[in-house]
Structure 1
Amino acid sequence: MRTSLALAVSAALVAGAAVGFAPVAQADEVGVRFVDIVGDGGTVLKANVITPAGADGSRRYPVIVLPTSWAMPRIEYLVPAIQLADSGYVVVSYNSRGFWESGGEIETAGPKDVADAAKVVDWALAHTPADAERVGMAGVSYGAGISLLAAAHDPRVKAVAALSGWGDLIESIYSGRTQHLQAAALLGGAGYLTGRPGPELREVLDDFLSSNLDKEDEMIAWGRKRSPATHLDRINANGAAVMLGNAWGDTIFPPNQYASFYEKLTGPKRLEFRPGDHATAEATGLFGLPNDTWDSTRRWFDHYLKGVDNGIDREQPVQLKSRSTGEYEGYADWKSVHANQRKFALGDSEHLWANVDSGANGGVTLLTNLLDQLFRTPPTVSVPFLNRAVAAVWQSERYDTEQKVRGTARVHTTVTPTKESGTFVAYLYDVGPLGVGKLVSNAPYTFHGKAPGQPFGVDLELFSTSYDVPAGHRLALVVDTVDPLYIEHNPTGAQLTFSSPSADPSYVSVPLRKE
């Protein structure tokens, strides 16, 4: 199975080159080698080394290390690596331990993976014309996380481009204390298919997917150790220039946690959000097609590793691409995105039965938000026809002018359960004149240990986005208790009441761009 998938990926790269997607001529000019690198503890890592044309050891070049994405073979970055080498970089791409032909077991960005990254840098400095003073790391998804963790532990890393990665692993797949079922199942299944999960990962996956709450503290500690946010002080102390890129609809590593991580960085930094799902914003660049994310990555390294005055350090560091228009907007920081807030009240009490899907949902991991990226077709629902026995619905007034939603909408409400545990999912819709709602954002929330019949307050951040609500439309908040994206914890017969006490009114706060 692994060999056939590798051949399929290789064939896709070759086919892309044949129709002009990849610069094949450059592959003849630069040097491409397949090598073994000894990682931490003697584990052999399978790698590619791409050097600039004519490199003969008489000069040193900046080096970029690319750990592969989760479950991807070592040829994943071959095309962008050739492009980087053609512009004067030594590039070393390696298969992370436990995947494909590399040795060891999957550590999920654990200490051994961080040590491997340092060993790869050591090897590059010893066996290629790489400059020890100009070391960068980059990667998509798993490679992004490892790159950020390496920047915390290896001061030689001067610049990072972390694409579709995570700052906080727990806030990524366990936000709102709700297991992101499809995301975890996809990662776990891909890991078993293409690699060798270690005993710690197998145990964590089993406990997570089986909702073993007795192990919750252990699972959180496991995730914290693997979160760059935990090592933020070290990243800041080392001073690496960090570029973060992600998709608005990333169902594996949602944008909120990346934005929060970005705000706490103190060195040179840049944050880019685009339409799409996990790793879809970078995908075309892997085949040599025009790609904004990879263009920014090259400019980032050109400036911070080569010293090129290309202006990227003078641009607004937060760059947001609208899901509605495809246009970019620049901001001085993430806080500025939320500077203008508009609330609408959740005034009426709503009572609903749990365990029944109302039809409102966030779609399917990887597929739904990819379609939104390509065709601007978010999930839809007919708001007037939602079953009010299993869905709570509130709507804003109809807006006279276009409302440009930017950033993170927040829900504040009071919940009274009939059981001690429960899960609900909040959806924000753009509702047109015919009542058809287009999904703007959503987020889950789970509680345990609450006293039945006793109200408690909830503050929930929806996943960040950039979406334009047309004039004449309104926003609607819909809440139900079932979504295939998430594991729900609603006991049989559970009911939830959402109210708005006069002393603590319920509302949705929506961040809007000011022209």
Structure 2
Amino acid sequence: MTSAADSASSGASADFSLYPELDASALAAFVTALESGDVSGLGPARAAEVEAARSVALFSRIKVGGADGALLDAGLWRHTGSQPRPVIVMPSPWTNLGWHTYAVQASIFAARGYNVLAYTTRGFPGSEGEVEVAGALDIADGSRALDHLIERTAGQVTKIGFLGDSYGSGISQIVAARDSRVDAVVALSTWGDLGEAFYENSTRHVEAVRALLNAASKARLSPQTQSIFDNVLTNQNIEETLIWAEERSPFSYVRELNDRQVPVLFAHAWHETLFPSNQTLKQFHALTGPKRVLFSIGDHSGPEASGMLGLPNRIWTNAHRWFDHHLKGVENGIDGEGQVLSEIMWSQALEPRPTWESLTGRVRRLFLAPGGELDEKPQTGWTAGVLTGTDTPATVADSVVLAGFAEIAGRPKAYPTDDIDRTVAAVWASAPSDEVTRLRGTPRLHLTYQAPSPRSSFIAYLFDTAPDGTAHIVTHAPFTDLVTGPGEPVSAEFDLQATAYDVPAGNRLLLVIDARDPFYGDSNLPRATLTFTSLEEKPSHLDLPLG
């Protein structure tokens, strides 16, 4: 199938995966050992997991009858005997690996007493149908998979959980909202508002959509799905795309989740490049039932990836504890550990908080001043020009997903801030801090600017800059205006992505504004100038949440 998406592609390899650390051959060998019992080809740890699961449960590859008759590839872990048990359904992530992605973790759940069914979502290799992106057929598939699991366990079910990573996490949340049988959810690297994920502050996430297309190179996308992705890449039919996304957004089903007080555990990466954290936090904030969010260093699905290989992983440990408590009734203390657990950049310290609001103790306001300073006092009347059409060394990351693994390994990208051309970017720096600056929460930026056309966009980056000029990114966000007339003032007030970051004493915070980043769609006229300023009635400023 050839489409506008193909011609707009960044040229990423068709073999691109959102799970680069996972080895398809190793997962297939694990599944084969589950079937045969022959663990001679596995390492000791994986062999022990196979033996533990097989000692209590029967494993089989199966086909699940989904909606509209589509057959879905699946794996079933079923305990013998008539004892009622909790069950877990696991819709697969956005990957050609399908349900094999969960093979190790599903086996661990089985060894802990659960009956488990993991299935490959429709349209991906091994399953029939077409990729609908959490559409009505996908949600019906989730309930059909649950029907199948209940039938195969002779109805001996106590409570029901849905667990998904990435694509499977959005499906899991919506199934839980629509199917009253579901008692708890684990949603890893998930989305809350898909429209906001595709159009953050009205800015198209083109590189994220390209990554999704490349990662689904062997999948069968429905014509509508292909058309929607093309819309984002070619900047067409925005309203149509947002309507499509609303149906596929867990945020649209908050009322149903709250009516039943469904417990939901979220896990997310601070530098998520597919589903930015703020739109997931929107979902988290709206839920009134038991909830918890784990924030980690890295990018999409990276923090939990090692657990999919069977290695010790605190995110999967929390997932097990969440289901043990809410499905088995185990008093393991997770309900008293607070709603938020943050991994602090770059110390990797874990910081629990009772609520999201308790992360932020106070807000410090810094004003954008002439001469490139971030000042404690309002400064107005100045102008700063940003030339469009030219990229700078200030970028979101070197690549979608992959850059996050370097962060997890303790090698975050070092940005040479002295190389940022001040003729194409506007830069403001704070004074060096006398002590560690503990950023906790969601920074907010207010700017006034003028553009020569009714469509304009820019990206705001916040960096932690050492005395030698090297920097690490703290957070960022894009902004696009599609309605203001040429030359009229645009009031841009928006959140940067949430963060938990310790800026060392002696370092500066650096705010950079430029008009182009390969991660985002560009709405500017080429070689035009965006003119930023600060008005008396509302000076341009940056609000920093401090812990």
Pair in the same fold by TM > 0.5: yes
Identify the residue that residue 120 of structure 1 maps to in structure 2. Answer: 145
- How far, CA to CA, are the matches of 1:327 and 1:110 in structure 2? 39
Q: Give the letter for the 2:346 counterpart.
A: S
Among 64, 68, 73, the alignment partner of 1:37 is: 64
Shift, 1:27, TM fit: 4.2
- How far, CA to CA, are the matches of 1:262 and 1:358 in structure 2? 34
Identify the residue that residue 360 of structure 1 maps to in structure 2. Answer: 394
Residues 20-35 of structure 1 correspond to what in structure 2 (within 5 A)?
20-21=45-46, 23-29=49-55, 30-35=57-62
Identify the residue that residue 89 of structure 2 maps to in structure 1. Answer: 65
Among 161, 174, 181, the alignment partner of 1:136 is: 161
- How far, CA to CA, are the matches of 1:430 and 1:76 in structure 2? 36
- How far, CA to CA, are the matches of 1:467 and 1:456 in structure 2? 30
Aligned sequence identity (%): 36
Does residue 11 of the first structure (1) align with residue 64 of the second (2)? Answer: no
- How far, CA to CA, are the matches of 2:328 and 2:518 in structure 1? 47
Residue 502 of structure 1 aligns to a residue whose secondary structure is: coil
Q: Give the letter for the 2:246 counterpart.
A: R
Identify the residue that residue 530 of structure 2 maps to in structure 1. Answer: 496
- How far, CA to CA, are the matches of 1:127 and 1:186 in structure 2? 37
Among 450, 468, 475, the alignment partner of 2:502 is: 468
- How far, CA to CA, are the matches of 2:472 and 2:214 in structure 1? 31
Among 245, 254, 263, the alignment partner of 1:223 is: 245
Identify the residue that residue 325 of structure 2 maps to in structure 1. Answer: 303
Residues 104-503 of structure 1 correspond to what in structure 2 (within 5 A)?
104-128=129-153, 131-191=156-216, 193-212=217-236, 215-348=237-370, 349-363=383-397, 364-375=399-410, 377-503=411-537
- How far, CA to CA, are the matches of 2:212 and 2:184 in structure 1? 27
Q: Deviations over 1:383-437 (max 9, x none)?
A: 3442111010011121101001122111111011122212211000111112222
The aligned length equals 503
Identify the residue that residue 34 of structure 2 maps to in structure 1. Answer: none
Shift, 1:190, TM fit: 2.2
Does residue 46 of the first structure (1) align with residue 73 of the second (2)? Answer: yes
Q: Output the TM-score relative to the length of structure 1.
A: 0.94
Gaps of 5+ in 1: none
Q: Deviations over 1:270-289 (max 9, x none)?
A: 11111111001110111110
Residue 537 of structure 2 aligns to a residue whose secondary structure is: coil
Q: Output the TM-score relative to the length of structure 2.
A: 0.89
Q: Is the 8 A contact 1:412 1:508 kept in 2?
A: yes
Residue 195 of structure 1 aligns to a residue whose secondary structure is: coil
Q: Is the 8 A contact 1:262 1:269 kept in 2?
A: yes
Shift, 1:21, TM fit: 4.9
Q: Deviations over 1:197-245 (max 9, x none)?
A: 0011011111111111xx1111000001100001110111122111111
Classify 1:13/1:440 alpha carbon distance in 2 versus 1 (closer, same or farther; 3 Å). Answer: farther
Q: Give the letter for the 2:183 counterpart.
A: K
Shift, 1:129, TM fit: 5.2
| Pairwise CA RMSD | 1.9
Q: Give the letter for the 1:439 counterpart.
A: I
Q: Deviations over 1:71-119 (max 9, x none)?
A: 2322110100111000100000001111111111111000111111111
Residue 164 of structure 2 aligns to a residue whose secondary structure is: strand
Q: Give the letter for the 1:196 counterpart.
A: R
Q: Which moved more, 1:453-462 or 1:12-21?
A: 12-21
- How far, CA to CA, are the matches of 1:104 and 1:85 in structure 2? 29
Shift, 1:17, TM fit: 4.1
Q: Give the letter for the 2:403 counterpart.
A: T
Residue 472 of structure 1 aligns to a residue whose secondary structure is: coil
- How far, CA to CA, are the matches of 2:287 and 2:307 in structure 1? 27
